[in-house]
Amino acid sequence: MMEDNKKGVSMEINPDSKGDQDVAQGSVADFVAGSQHLHRSLRGKEVQLFAIGGAIGTSLYVQMDSALPKGGPAGLFIAFVIWAAVMWAVNECFAEMVSYLPVPSPFIKFGGEWVDGALGFAMAWNFFLNMAILVPFEIVAMNIMITFWTDKVPVEAIIVAMIVIYAFLNTITVRYFGISEFYMSIFKVLLVLGLFLFTFITMVGGNPLHDAYGFRFWNRPGAFAEHLVPGGTGKFLGVLSCLYQASFS
């Protein structure tokens, strides 16, 4: 049974309760906001920019060219709409749970307490592997972007610089970490808006050829591309390939 009190919220189910009962006997879980001695130094604007900047993945900048030929412009658009709808639904549900019980590492604890301990265990390892893979991926992405414009910067220097920056940002105090993330999130948002503006300008003729191509490529070669196999199946596989790309973006 779930009940509120000054210490926390009852979430833990008694394993000794009888299976024929509609409501199992509960106990108060030690999940109390602020009980983990967190340094609450982040300001509201920084938290808001975290949410916006965190929704913009690195793959949006470095891998989009590989997805477009596989699914076509319409396939890429549909894939992003589908994935955005999924993420919106998940975040809405998650926001309700966090508002009800604000605790650190909430998605891991919620999965373990409200679904099953095995789910919380799997989510914790999944998050660890995600973060462990993300850092090398970010380093590779930075190397791709720099070497695209110039090859004068040694690859080793890029790798060492990224590792030092990651280590520094994770060892400074929360206050300065929030400030750094705030400005980096602003940069990501401005970069996306700048790319939108650049694309619009080139579409209406602001390019070296002065060619106002607009939505021409939605007709030739077509809005959907065939991936791996011809026909409708190939177009469907193209959308799936774009959906995979959308999940990383």
pLDDT-above-90 percentage for the chain = 12
- Of 54, 56, 68, which is closest to residue 239 (Cα–Cα)? 68
Q: What is the pLDDT of residue 78?
A: 93
Q: 0.85 cut: is pTM over it?
A: no
3-state SS of the chain is CCCECCCCEEEEECCCCCCCCCCCCEEECCCCCCCCCCCCCCCHHHHHHHHHHHCCCCHHHHCHHHHHHHHHHHHHHHHHHHHHHHHHHHHHHHHHHHHHCCCCCHHHHHHHHHCCHHHHHHHHHHHHHHHHHHHHHHHHHHHHHHHHHCCCCCHHHHHHHHHHHHHHHCCCCHHHHHHHHHHHHHHHHHHHHHHHHHHHHHHCCCCCCCCCCCCHHHCCCCCCCCCCCCHHHHHHHHHHHHHHHHHHC
Return the ∠ at Cα 111 (arms to 105 and 115), rounded to 5°: 160
Question: 15, 35 in Cβ contact below 8 A?
Answer: no
Side chain identity at residue 44, one-letter code: G
Q: What is the pLDDT of residue 14?
A: 46
Average pLDDT over the chain reads 80
Spatial separation of the C-alpha atoms in residues 107 and 127, rounded to whole Å: 10
Gap between the Cα atoms of 110 and 90, Å rounded: 13
Strands 26-28 and 10-13: antiparallel
Q: pLDDT over 70 for what percent of the chain?
A: 84
- Residue 47 confidence class, pLDDT cut points 50, 70, 90: confident
Identify which of 187, 183, 177, 138 has the alpha carbon closest to the alpha carbon of residue 161: 138
What residues does 4 pair with on adjacent strands? 9
C-alpha 221: how far from chain center = 32
Tokens of residue 249, six digits:
């973006």
Per-residue model confidence (pLDDT) at position 12? 45
Residue ranges covered by each domain of the chain:
1-32, 42-117+169-248
* Mean pLDDT of the region 13-26: 45
Question: pLDDT band at residue 39, thresholds of 50, 70 and 90?
Answer: low
pLDDT tens-place string over residues 177-208: 888 888 888 988 898 899 899 989 998 888 88
**CB count in 10 Å sphere of residue 42:** 17
Of the pLDDT bands very low, low, confident and very high (cuts 50, 70, 90), residue 38 is low
